[in-house]
Chains A and B, each alone.
Chain A
Amino acid sequence: MTDAALSAPAVRRSFPLGRLLWPALLVVTIVLVNLPNGALPAWMTKYPAAWQIPTAAWISTFMRWLMEVASFGLFTVRDLFRAVAWVLDLPLAAAKAVLAEGIGWGRGADAVTIAPAIPWFSALIAGVAAAYKVGGARLAALIGAGLLYLAVFGQWAGAMVTLSSVLVSSALGAVGGLLIGLACVRWRWAERAVSPMLDLAQTMPVFAYLLPMLILFGFGPVSAMIATIVYAMPPMVRVTIIAIRAVPDEIRELGAMTGCTRRQLTWKMLVPSALPALMVGVNQVIMLSLNVVIIASMIGAGGLGFDVLSALRALKIGEGLEAGLAITVLAILLDRFAQALAVKTGRPPERDEQTARRKRSALQAAFMLAGALWILAAIVPDIARYPDALKLSTAPYWSDLVRWINVTFNATLDAIRTFAFLNLLAPAKRFALALPWAWVVALVVIAGLRLGGWRLGLGLGALALAIATTGLWQVAMLTVYLCGVAVVVACLIGVPVGVAAATRPRLWRAVETVIDLLQTLPSFVYLIPIVMLFRVGDFTALIAIVLYAVAPAIRYAAHGVARVPPTLIEAATMTGCTRRQILTRVRVPLALPEILLGINQTIMLALSMLVITALVGTRDLGQETYSALAKADVGKGLVAGLCVAFIAIIADRLVSAAAAKMKRRRGLGA
């Protein structure tokens, strides 16, 4: 009785407030946006120039000092970085020599070659054999088909350059990520220091730190590789932390009881028992490395990325697509291989001694054959080249296809574009630019406060305020507008597709193939045809962002709906729900937290596409980082990059907090 009496007024007091808060905020926002000019004090609508903090100039000055003046006495900072670059170049040069350029020493006229790069047929045999050992006949067939594609479509040379840099950067990224992760597990302070860095590295556009890399490590493939590692390593660190912490206590205790030293405990017990989970991180590192192949090629990584770029620059859409698909093929091959490796490490070795031995000798024979053919190719170099006569290309058809669509459906395309512009993009843009910055900061604080408490609200508010102090508020709002619209569209498409596919396995397989392709195909490949059909402008950028960012919306929605406990479905069936009712009343509501996480990922991917859409002339933060790169303005690039990172972090924390809150409320556990 007393309990009820105490809690009743509390409920009554907070209930209407919570309900009314969001509509009230919405009304205030709309009123503020529609206020006539001059109704608000000027400092509220436009952030005063006098309050800006010249962070960009400070960073540029610091960078100049670092590279031109700073010294440790015996050697300068510059020497140090160059030495690091030299060391990192060694494995890269070695991998390139074996896969792409031939083994030897000296350069130019003095070059001595002792062996050519591994010829395609040797690589094919060795690749298939290794695949068979790791993953059986199916994987072997897949690897064989993939490598054949590269040879038949004339992508071999470029693919090997890309492969060597991806292999080296993945290896360095995986090892580095593992070490950092282990350090984080051992020392709390390390984790506290590393965690915000990971957030930044994952959300900052690559363009923003390309330039500092170039200045520190010099122009060339090494800088591209280091940028790739920075981009690809964070998931490995995170996976390591989680995987090592998840190792059962029994194993730790066993280690302690058997008298392991700390080092033995880590490397002989913890890492091996976490290995299957760690391989997931390795897989992510490989995928992300392939993601930045195009951007890395802009600063000298060469390979397939450069082939895609130069083909598209000459408007050879077909050639660009074929080179782009070669990147996808590499991604699939490496992904499946790494996954098979992960499965294999968790599996006991072959029991049947005889089969094992037979397998082993077959493998040895295959590797010997590959080696012998390599030697043969060294003696007779002509056979190492894939014959031109046997090359295929579908390139001409693609250009013709785009031209045909362009000429035939122009009226329809134009109507779609105009409609989207007038009814969606233009109003959204006007709205975003009319929002007073002070109100946006306040909104962020209120949202953080409601969803996650004081600390979240104030922390995120500080980030939003930081964006204003850089003087990039307008550009930042353009970013929010473009990404916001893209995320809304992506969710409107993605969530229903995901929900529909979740309970239909065959549809799901088709959908999964499409989104896998969209995520691994370099977006530049489809960006240029979209420009041809829809012209340069925000609409083109919107389509490109939606295509790339729709995948997680679909994936998480499908996953969430499929994961609803079967007991609940049974209960619903028994109470006489129709299929439709089960979907709308049971599956979707229960999957909502999962769907929210999908939306969160969609936001992250949309923001990461900014860099690419800058190439078709959007005027947002992506463009700022891109033009800073071209103007060699380190400070401007980093500051714009940080703004993107801040927007991403604000969105991420808010959505995650909302999802966690929702989960709690639905009793699904935190």
Chain B
Amino acid sequence: MLHQLTRAMTAGLVALAMAGTTGAATAAPESKDPIKVTLHDWTGQLITARIMGETLKKAGYNVDYVQADYLAQFAGMRTGDLHVAMEVWATTAKEAMDEAIAAGGVENVGETGMQAIEDWWFPEYMKEKCPGLPDWKALKECAEVFSTPETAPKGRYLGGPVTWGGYDEERVAALDLPFEVVHAGTDAAMFAELQSAYDRKAPILLWIYAPHWAPIKFKGEWIKFPPYEKACYEDPAWGVNKDAKYDCAKPRGPIYKAVWQGMKDKWPGAYKAVKAYTFDNKEIGELAAKVDLEGQKVEAVVDDWMAKNEDRWKKWIQ
């Protein structure tokens, strides 16, 4: 009895060991050390990071996913604790990335192909209460519609967490909007408020970004501010307000990828793969919706994508 059990165990162990090694690499990676890919707190990023990570795994690299704060990650990338950041939005983290590049240790490896939009957004039913929307000038007349006891008589605009920056206070002042900026602490809180207001058809005006599931799930539009130009953020004379900067929309911009500088030498193949990776807004938005709206797991969505798009990711690791 005991003998049989031992034999069964050995067989099982051998089988397991075999199963473990059959999926081995096709090309030998330059280093077996794990490449650390950062994960942040929004679904789109989890998907892009995981697709990159899974692709690298297929090429034989070892990959660790590390939960890291969006802006704090650059501190880790400079020292080589973290290696790959798949989504660095020009709109929110460009300054932090440029700072890290200047300080040394971080490299910008180009655009992902996705375009970030981050701006003031309202649900469609607000057009009834404020007919001039989405033109920004309508906000001057409709401030009262958006007001709450805390902000009355001014309107209430729910901005992103303070850490996201975005110059909303400056924008309100420059465009002379009768609004007060209230910062949400996390995007969870922000979208909780949107969901709640949307259920009641209550007035709300808030910061939304894309690619994200919210503009897919909820019907609405972005406010049309004077389009962003570089001069608007640098030269007060530009735009409607001659004495102030930020009298325009937020910049829309590419989403970059960033890596630890040493990656080029340590894992040249992986470095090339990260560089080659591209995606677009619509595709990632749809994948994110599968997770956030249909309730699938990120891992399942990514595995499914990997199975269906072999030709796409194979090209990255060539």
A and B held together in a complex = yes
Binding site for B on A (CB under 8 A): 67, 78, 104, 106-114, 211, 214-215, 218-220, 297-302, 306, 309-310, 312-316, 375, 378-379, 403, 406-407, 410, 417-418, 421-422, 426, 527-529, 531-533, 535-537, 613-619, 623, 626-627, 629-632
Q: Within the assembled complex, what's the spacing in Å between the Cα atoms of A310 and B191? A: 13
Q: Within the assembled complex, what's the spacing in Å between the Cα atoms of A597 and B20? A: 58
Give the distance to chain B from A467, nearest Cβ to Cβ, in Å.
Answer: 21
User: Which of B5, B76, B186, B195 interacts with A218 by CB under 8 Å?
Assistant: B76
Q: Within the assembled complex, what's the spacing in Å between the Cα atoms of A543 and B25? A: 54
CB-CB under 8 A for A406 and B189, given A109-B60, A537-B150:
no
Q: Annotate B71-110 by CB proximity to A: 1 below 8 A, 0 otherwise.
A: 1111110010110000000000000100000000000000
Q: Within the assembled complex, what's the spacing in Å between the Cα atoms of A632 and B74? A: 8
* A residues less than 8 Å from B72 (CB atoms): 211, 214, 629-632
* A residues less than 8 Å from B76 (CB atoms): 214, 218-219
10 contacts between A and B (CB under 8 A): A109-B25, A112-B17, A114-B13, A215-B75, A220-B81, A314-B291, A378-B12, A613-B185, A619-B183, A626-B185
Q: Within the assembled complex, what's the spacing in Å between the Cα atoms of A417 and B69? A: 33
CB-CB under 8 A for A533 and B13, given A108-B57, A299-B67:
no
Most chain B Cβ neighbours within 10 Å, of A297, A315, A316, A617 = A617
Q: Within the assembled complex, what's the spacing in Å between the Cα atoms of A315 and B202? A: 18
* A residues less than 8 Å from B191 (CB atoms): 313, 315
Q: Nearest CB to that of A372 among chain B residues?
A: B5
* A residues less than 8 Å from B24 (CB atoms): 109-110
A614 & B8 in contact (Cβ 8 Å cutoff):
no
B189 & A109 in contact (Cβ 8 Å cutoff):
no
B75 & A618 in contact (Cβ 8 Å cutoff):
no
Binding site for A on B (CB under 8 A): 5, 8-9, 11-13, 16-17, 20-21, 23-25, 32, 34, 36, 38, 41-43, 57, 60-63, 66-76, 79, 81-82, 96, 148-150, 158, 161-163, 182-193, 195-196, 199-200, 202, 213, 291-292, 295
Q: Within the assembled complex, what's the spacing in Å between the Cα atoms of A114 and B11? A: 11
Q: Nearest CB to that of A399 among chain B residues?
A: B195
* A residues less than 8 Å from B187 (CB atoms): 313
B199 & A403 in contact (Cβ 8 Å cutoff):
yes
A533 & B9 in contact (Cβ 8 Å cutoff):
no
* B residues less than 8 Å from A618 (CB atoms): 185
CB-CB under 8 A for A375 and B5, given A536-B189, A536-B190:
yes
Q: Nearest CB to that of A528 among chain B residues?
A: B192
Give the distance to chain B from A381, nearest Cβ to Cβ, in Å.
Answer: 8
CB-CB under 8 A for A219 and B200, given A110-B21, A113-B20:
no
A418 & B149 in contact (Cβ 8 Å cutoff):
yes
Give the distance to chain A from B124, nearest Cβ to Cβ, in Å.
Answer: 18
Most chain B Cβ neighbours within 10 Å, of A108, A313, A407, A533 = A108
Q: Within the assembled complex, what's the spacing in Å between the Cα atoms of A632 and B105? A: 16
Q: Within the assembled complex, what's the spacing in Å between the Cα atoms of A245 and B21? A: 57
* A residues less than 8 Å from B183 (CB atoms): 536, 617, 619
CB-CB under 8 A for A379 and B8, given A109-B23, A300-B68, A536-B158:
yes
Q: Within the assembled complex, what's the spacing in Å between the Cα atoms of A294 and B56? A: 30
* A residues less than 8 Å from B70 (CB atoms): 630
Give the distance to chain A from B261, nearest Cβ to Cβ, in Å.
Answer: 15
Give the distance to chain A from B140, nearest Cβ to Cβ, in Å.
Answer: 23
A623 & B291 in contact (Cβ 8 Å cutoff):
no
* A residues less than 8 Å from B149 (CB atoms): 417-418, 421-422
Q: Within the assembled complex, what's the spacing in Å between the Cα atoms of A647 and B7? A: 66
Q: Within the assembled complex, what's the spacing in Å between the Cα atoms of A277 and B48? A: 51
CB-CB under 8 A for A302 and B67, given A375-B9, A378-B16, A630-B163:
yes
* A residues less than 8 Å from B202 (CB atoms): 410
19 additional contacts, CB 8 Å, given A313-B186, A313-B188, A536-B190? A109-B25, A109-B62, A112-B16, A114-B13, A214-B75, A219-B36, A298-B69, A309-B41, A378-B12, A378-B13, A379-B8, A403-B199, A410-B200, A532-B195, A615-B189, A617-B161, A629-B72, A630-B163, A632-B74
* B residues less than 8 Å from A218 (CB atoms): 76, 79, 81
B25 & A630 in contact (Cβ 8 Å cutoff):
no
Closest 5 CB pairs of A and B: A108-B62, A379-B12, A630-B163, A300-B67, A532-B196
CB-CB under 8 A for A112 and B150, given A214-B76, A219-B76:
no
A532 & B185 in contact (Cβ 8 Å cutoff):
no
Give the distance to chain B from A83, nearest Cβ to Cβ, in Å.
Answer: 14
